[in-house]
Structure 1
Amino acid sequence: MPGRRRKNPDHPSATGPGTQPAESLLPADFELADLYGAHGSDDEDADDQPVLVPPVRLLPEDELAAQAAAVPLLARAIRLARWAAPTRPVDELGDLLPADQVAAARHLGLAPAEDGGTSRPKAGGIPEDSVLEALRIWSLASDLELVVPAHDAEGNRVAGPSQELAPVEAGDVEAVLELWLSAAEVISELAAEIEPLDAEPDAGEQADEDRAEELLSQYEEVQAEAAELLDEALQVLYEATAFAQPGQETVPLGVLAALLVVPDGEEPDEEMLGDITDVMVALDPMLSDLEEIGLLEYQPIDPELFEEAEEEIEGEAAAAEARAAVSPEADDAEAARFGLVKLTPLGQYGIRQWLLDKGYDAPLIGEYATGDAAALLQGIAEAVNVLPEQEIQVWLAGREPVGAARELLEAARGNDPVAPLRRMLAQLAIGELGEAVGPAVREVLDDRELGGAARALLLSQGAANVPEPDRPMVLWTTVDTYAGQLLDLAGDAELERELIARMPVADDPAGFFGELWRVEHPYTAQVLETIGELHPDKRVAKEARKAAFKARSRN
């Protein structure tokens, strides 16, 4: 589903002389619930609409590799693979033999030599659950090809460390991250698995075969649905993290489930509340599994919340729990009882790699901030999934303010199709530099393209002695400002209507538009046509349409 802009009152958009300040409408500042279409939309064309993935900021790869190597599950798999040197005997499935199962558990420190009677021991006093855990880690090491099968001189089955192990142990960044990605994929696949359906009583050979095929088909369908649910949940969590303010990346499980269930712009009804509960219960064990590989941090649902209820009130109880889970009035302690999930830096890295593997454009913050000001402004203006303020902050970091302002002003010039939006972005960027750039801004006060925005910048900073613009500059800047904002909105009729409704049209619209249609600007006619189509005052709209016709006729 295409991303939509949202208003950001913290940064006033470009405003020229004669216009009123408007809320900032920046390119691709998306609403989370509009992304991915993972919340139950019935739109038949939803699958044909573009998927916009917001940009993220990742840690340096060496830091990510260090975090990956420190994940206990992966560290144990690496340790167990080295322990297998030169080889260990295995069965036909590649599993360790009983004697080495105990030795592996001891090597990993999974249990003390004496179990203290807390669980049923196997040979050597090692608890059975510790041995099973060692076997699970051995299986992961095998899946990751840290250990590989072979035959010894006598033809017996053995397994030992692979060549893949050495660069990982040496801390090679690429090798470690590749190994972690493979491990995360294995664990995510296992997380989506469900217990097989119980076998049914013997009903004859043919009947049993037919029933087995039916059960297998149902099982595979449920598995696929679970995997799809987890995939969608991780994608939405990725987006929530991208948009979150620092320190606010944690998402209540009920909110995550609601984003997957409730169509955009709707309030959940009783049926949806039941579905939200089902999604929360389904995701709970899967997210717990993913926490083990370092993909996310997860606080599970408090089991007391979902104790088995009487059948006749089960639906009501589930709906009540779901309503409480998504309630904005819930305090932190109450919300935590319904589950909390937070994507880790490793998780951001991993999900982005999966998105790239699926062919999605998953950009990084700073991709447009590596060149000069022209590349910055043009890149942001043309991109559909970019966070402008983030890109601007990256570009400004470490630059000398006055020099940066001059470069931005020069890059804002032009009459190409995105020039108005480029000027609006330049004004936003220069506004971040503060009062120190005043002298550079004053240098362009007489420039037809930049003078109006320059005055707006100076006035927003409280500067004195800012000369009044002449009427032609006021009119040109008015057209340019609205053109930039309309370009930014990219055809979103609802937000365009809000913008046009705020337009400060004088008591004499005929006189105002009688001046405006004469402005020599590439977007004069289009701006007037949009006003004529969307302005709520019929008198204003009529005069705008007449002016648009004159502007078109002149060309």
Structure 2
Amino acid sequence: MRAWGREKGVEVDVDEVRLLCDYASDYLEVNELGDFRPATFEELLLEIYPRKVIAPPESAPETVAAARTLVEFLLDSGEIGIKTAARMRVTIDDIEPEMPRALADTTKFGMAKSLFSAIGPDSLDLAAAAEPAARDTGAGCDCPGCAPLPPVHLPPQEQVARGVREVPLLRDAHRLVVWMAGGGRTTTVRRSLRVKDARAVAGELGVQSPETVWRLALQLGLARVVGTAVVPDAAFRPLEERPDGELLDLWAATVEFLIEEQASLTGEEVLDQGMPAVHDLLYRLQSPVPMDALADYLREYMADRSLGRLDEALGRLAYAGTVQWGDDGLCLTPHGVWGLRELYAGMGMDAPLAPDLAEGDASGLIAGLITDALPPEAADRSVLEWLSRRTPEQAASELLGAVVGAPAEVRGIAVTIVDRLGHEAAVVVRSYLDDAELRPHAIHWLSARGLDAPPLTPEELLWVSVDMLALALPAAEADPEGFAENIAASGPPPHLIEDMWRVEHPDVVEVLELLGNTLSDRAAAKAARKAAFKARSRGIR
């Protein structure tokens, strides 16, 4: 279409046309361009768009214009005839004045669109990341349709596909189709599972929420119901045998089903009905949400509804594959992030990608690792990719050169990455023995590899101890209890702490105060508080 537009001198809104084609394919059985009919546009623009796409009424002319462009393309490419194109133009002319009203009619909204539109930034105040600024629309709107989504880092598609192959919900959907078709079982006239079959599949296969799993299998096209007989789709294959691209399409449709259809997976009504809200919260925060905070959020969101055993319900939600529960709380799985972004994009929302840290220089890599709050596996992947594009000497030179005179946190990130490098980087590391702040780290790096290095003086040992603790200050502020546990197991001894006040380090007072407030060893904590007092006094003098 882009080439056609250039040839014809026509401006083509490719993104809007793609949405038209995606929804026509997903909901109106338009599998080829020639399948478009005049009625297709009527359903698309007056039924599907108002139900699915978060878009203000004033955006209707853009979508109508894209539909007209699509008609001209279909005609010029021979997909439709002149008479069909004429009928399509008349239909779109009739639709044009109606579409803004349809987009504004809340009774037409689908469940996901209604819930997403109801979640304002005030509902997402568990962290600053959940309070995105509204777009400058001039209307003062604060719904997510006007509040930008945060940029996200996506895992490689092969990792997404690998995760999808292990999703229990999808595996059970495939098993259920085989069980139904292989046993010659039939559905009710409404294509639902019979009560006895639902009970049997739960008992024999251990499938959670059999009716919901069966609805998903039909939604994904894994099976067809002919009359009441169950027939596997002609392309039905186990997850292990499906190529990655096919799996991604399957997963995108699964996430849409979970959010849009309000799948009753967990048995906890508040969580089932709040599924769009919970997923949106996790996507915006990009960090785990503790159980108590999530419970408070759901109580506020679903006012006047009782909240039962949330921990059990969350375990069942993890069965769907979009979320995972860890020590720090609930967060999206990598394939959950991927699938939710696909859903947002399909709804017409701007779902930006964060810059690839491996594409930038050393300063960009370090800044991204500090500010982007990446999951550990994503951060590690970015670092490895960045290193793979450089020789060890180049990597060491860029990293250490970028942090000369930098704060401890920035310097610590660089030193940690350089620690991954082998002997090839020795010449570069040795060249920083003349830098007062990097010298102790360079000595440690060389000594750890059995290379010639000057010994650390007592003053340098104290300085590097303070410097490494200063690196941990942001993490300690974010998770005081976790830091206290770690420092109790591997913190400096009292005799070392007592002398830290002498160190010429800009963060020494803050480090000593942190130790004084977190060390479980009373003697060590007292030594830290005493040393902090001396350091402050020295600064006053």
Q: TM-score range by the shorter chain?
A: 0.3 to 0.5
User: Which of structures 1 and 2 has the bigger CA Rg?
Assistant: 1
